[in-house]
Amino acid sequence: MKIVVLDGYTENPGDLSWGELAELGELTVYDRTSYVESPVIAERIGDAEIAVTNKTPISAKTIDLCPNLKAIAVLATGYNVTDFKYAGEKGIPVINVPTYGTQIVGQYAVSLLLEICSHIGHHDRTVKDGKWENNIDWCYWDYPLIELSGKTAGVIGLGRIGKTTARILGAMGMKVLAYDAFTSEEGRKYAKYVDLDTLYANSDVIFLHCPLFADNEKMINRDSIAKMKNGVIIINNSRGGLINEQDLADALNTGKVYAAGLDVVSTEPIRGDNPLLEARNCIITPHISWAAQAARQRIMDITVDNIRAFINGNPVNVVNL
C-alpha cells in the first residue's frame, strides 16, 4: 500500500512523527505541494493508493490522472479542498478528522477577544520600548480596557466548538445567546437560543463558529452589521468566507464595529490587497487556532486510525459515501 502526504509541513513541522503512518505502507511525505491546481499534484500522487492532504487541492482532473487512487485522507475537518462529490462517484472515500480541535479553537476564540479587551501585547511592547520607564504617571493605557462580565456574547453556530466557547464566556460572567439551525438540551446549558436578528441586536460580542455553506457566505455584511449594536466586537476563527471583508473594514473604520479578531480570511495566505489589513482595530492571525501541538497530535492519531480502518475494510469518518 503506497501512501503519499502532499503537504505535511503545517501538520508536522518536525515536532511530531510520521512513524505510525509509515507502518501502514510505503510512505512518501512532501512538506509542500501547490495550493492551486497543478499537474505536480497528480505527479506526486502517482500510483499511490492513498493520498493525504491538508490544503493541497485534489480535483476531479487529478483523480482521473491517478487511476490507482483508492482513498483520500484530509488532515483537517474541512474537506472542500477535494472534489469529494466526484470522488464519491468514483467510489473513492474522502476521510476527514472531525473532532480534533474543539478545546483549542474555543480557547483561541476567547483569546482573540481578551487581546482586544486588554491589549496585552501592545502594552508589553510599549514597556519594552521605554514608555513606562519615562512616563510621568505610575501607569498608563493606550486603549480603553473592557470588562466583559455582565456583557452579552452571541455565538453563531453552537456545535462542539461553539459550546466550548460559550462555556468559557459563561465562566467569565457573560450572558450568552446562540443561533443554530439545530437546538439541543446540551446547548441550553451554555446559551439561550434566539433568532439571528435578536442575536445581532443584543450582542456586545459576536463569535462565528459555523461551517461555510452557500447560504451563509458573507453573512456578516453591510446589512447584518447595520442590525448590530454600535461598537460591537466580531470574532471569527471559523471560515473567512463568512464575512464580506470590505463591509467589515468599512464598519471598523467608521466605528460601527469597535474591533474584530480574525484568524481566518477569505483567501489564504492573505493577499496584500485585503481591506482588513488597513482597517482600524483589526487583529489578524495566520489561521493558527488549530495549531497547538496537542491538537496536531490528535490529527495525526486520528488520520492513522482512519487509514488503518480503510485498509482493514472498515472505513470511518467518510464524508462522501
Catalytic residues: 239, 268, 287
Separation CA 262–CA 241 (nearest Å): 12
C-alpha cell at 297: 497530535
User: Would you call 42 helix, strand, or coil by DSSP?
Assistant: helix
Residues 6 or more apart whose CB falls under 8 angstroms from that of 93 comprise: 71, 72, 87, 310, 315, 318, 320, 321
DSSP string, 226-270: HTSPTTEEEEE-S-GGGB-HHHHHHHHHHTSEEEEEES--SSSSP
- The C-alpha angle with vertex 234 and arms to 232 and 235, in degrees rounded to 5, equals 150
- Compute CA 34 distance to the chain's CA centroid, rounded to the nearest angstrom: 21
What is the phi/psi pair of residue 183, to 5°?
A: -100, 160
Question: CA-to-CA distance for 253 and 292, rounded, in angstroms?
Answer: 32
Q: Is 317 left (phi over 0), alpha (psi -120 to 50) or beta?
A: left
